[in-house]
């Protein structure tokens, strides 16, 4: 990955970011659950998951959500400058995620604007699983640091 | 797990079971590892000291994970497949804060055979200040 920083002025509306392909491994899900301290039984216990009709195993929907942000962070031609500020987030959780899923997130710049001397960017993303099924749709609004 | 909530018994103003977490720099670092987001604003005290925030702050998506946990415990499948969330990050969450995710039933809708519950959701810190605020819905 290039060390060049992707600065605001060089990013055009409509720009599509390289879509990362990320494996939602058992380890990644466990690491995430530990980090957010989520003890929901449907992620830990097969009986609870089946009783809730979510299937087993199942992963938190927000694990794909993080990848929608990582899709912007991981770019071959440059990286997001440090210090970005996340101001607003929208998500639609379309279908359950499962350990073992391979997720591809496509993201594009939907809007750019300057307000009160700050550079704002709106990035829309769609995450699909290995079967091409949409699992998460996102829209992130934040301040680009440079 | 406690039984998930029923569309028929829910009413406007009902409160979801809150989710409370204590934030430390170690937990923020752990989230950075789990999410791949190593923005120095979250994990580098020297960098963060020189910013508007004057110190490290937690990832916005960490607070959002707490709201998601609350909605998962309330609605399970209705959240995992059909959930929607719109939030604004109002104030920074800092190491040392205790964050509580809360939800209140705002509206029940029934359209085209689909039942949806819309909740006001927010996270507040130990001073009662809202740090995240918005709306979340689940399909029942």
**Residue B57 is among the residues annotated as catalytic for this protein:** yes
pLDDT digits (tens, 9 = 90+) for A18-66: 888 888 999 999 999 999 999 999 999 999 999 999 999 999 999 987 7
User: Which of the residue ranges A77-81, A130-134, B11-15 would you say has the lowest mean pLDDT?
Assistant: A77-81
Decide if pLDDT at B55 tops 90: yes
C-alpha distances in Å from residue A57, one per residue of A51, A135, B44, B91, B140: 12, 16, 35, 35, 21
Which residues in chain B (4-23) have CB-CB distances under 8 A to chain A? Answer: 4, 21
Q: What is the pLDDT of residue A2?
A: 58
**Residue B37 is among the residues annotated as catalytic for this protein:** yes
Q: Cβ contact (<8 Å) for A40 and B41? A: no
The C-alpha angle with vertex B30 and arms to A72 and A44, in degrees rounded to 5, equals 100
User: If pLDDT is split at 50, 70 and 90, which confidence band does A131 have?
Assistant: very high
Among B34, B37, B84, the residue with its CB nearest the CB of A91 is: B84
Q: Is the pTM of this model over 0.90?
A: yes
User: Mean per-residue pLDDT for A94-101?
Assistant: 95
| Residue with the two structure tokens 């060049």 | A4
- Which of B37, B55, B83, B134 does the annotation list as catalytic? B37
User: Mean per-residue pLDDT for B47-75?
Assistant: 95
Decide if pLDDT at A70 tops 80: no
Cβ-count burial A43-55 (b if 16+ within 10 Å, e if not): beeeebbeebebe
| % residues pLDDT > 70 (chain A) | 90
CA terminus-to-terminus distance, chain A:
19
pLDDT digits (tens, 9 = 90+) for B4-49: 788 888 999 999 999 999 999 999 999 999 988 888 999 999 999 9
ipTM: 0.92
Which of residues A99 and A69 earns the better pLDDT score? A99
CA–CA separation, B135 and B16 (whole Å): 13
Among B80, B87, B88, the residue with its CB nearest the CB of A58 is: B80
User: Mean per-residue pLDDT for A67-81?
Assistant: 63
- Which of B23, B28, B42, B43 does the annotation list as catalytic? B42
- Its sign, for the CA torsion A76, A77, A82, A84, is negative
pLDDT digits (tens, 9 = 90+) for B67-98: 999 999 999 999 999 999 999 999 999 999 99
Backbone angles phi, psi at B54, to 5 degrees: 70, 5
Q: Cβ contact (<8 Å) for B69 and A82? A: no
Which of residues A33 and A146 earns the better pLDDT score? A33
Cβ-count burial B40-76 (b if 16+ within 10 Å, e if not): bbbbeeeebeebeeeebbbbbbbbbbbbbbbbbbbbb
Decide if pLDDT at A1 tops 70: no
Q: What is the pLDDT of residue B3?
A: 66
Q: B55 touching A, CB under 8 A? A: no
User: If pLDDT is split at 50, 70 and 90, which confidence band does B1 have?
Assistant: very low
- Which of B23, B28, B43, B57 does the annotation list as catalytic? B57
Write out chain A residues lying below 8 Å of B41, CB-based.
82-85
CA–CA separation, B49 and B46 (whole Å): 5
Q: What is the pLDDT of residue B70?
A: 98
Mean residue pLDDT of chain A comes to 88
Q: What is the pLDDT of residue B46?
A: 96
Q: Which residue of A has its CA nearest to B135?
A: A90
Among B59, B76, B89, the residue with its CB nearest the CB of A87 is: B89
| Strand ranges for chain A from DSSP E | 16-17, 21-23, 85-93, 102-115, 118-128, 134-143
Q: Which residue of B has its CA nearest to A35?
A: B31
pLDDT digits (tens, 9 = 90+) for B101-138: 999 999 999 988 889 999 999 999 999 999 999 999 99
Among B1, B30, B69, the residue with its CB nearest the CB of A48 is: B1
């Amino acid at each position: 990955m290039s060390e060049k920083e992707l600065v605001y002025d060089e990013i055009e509306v409509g720009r599509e970011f390289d879509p990362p392909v990320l494996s939602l491994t058992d380890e990644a899900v466990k690491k995430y659950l530990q980090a957010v301290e989520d003890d929901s039984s449907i992620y830990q216990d097969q009986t609870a998951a089946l009783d809730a009709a979510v299937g087993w195993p199942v992963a938190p929907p927000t694990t794909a959500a993080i990848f929608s942000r990582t899709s912007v962070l991981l770019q071959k031609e440059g990286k997001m400058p440090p210090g970005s500020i996340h101001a607003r987030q929208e998500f639609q959780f379309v279908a359950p995620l499962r350990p073992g899923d391979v997720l591809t997130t496509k993201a594009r710049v939907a809007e750019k604007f300057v307000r009160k001397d700050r550079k704002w960017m709106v990035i829309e993303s769609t995450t699909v699983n290995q079967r091409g099924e949409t699992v998460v749709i996102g829209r992130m609004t934040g301040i680009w640091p440079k | 797990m406690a039984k998930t909530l029923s569309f028929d018994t829910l009413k406007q103003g009902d409160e979801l079971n809150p989710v409370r977490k204590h934030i430390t720099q170690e937990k923020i670092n752990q989230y950075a590892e789990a999410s791949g987001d190593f923005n120095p604003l979250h994990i580098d005290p020297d960098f963060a000291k020189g910013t508007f925030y004057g110190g490290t702050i937690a990832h916005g998506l960490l607070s959002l994970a707490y709201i998601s946990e609350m909605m998962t415990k309330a609605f399970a499948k209705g959240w995992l497949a059909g959930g929607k969330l719109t939030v604004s990050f109002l104030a920074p969450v800092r190491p040392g804060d205790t964050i509580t995710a809360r939800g209140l039933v705002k509206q029940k809708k029934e359209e085209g055979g689909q039942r949806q519950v819309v909740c006001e959701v927010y996270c507040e810190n130990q001073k009662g200040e809202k740090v995240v605020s918005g709306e979340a819905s689940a399909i029942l």
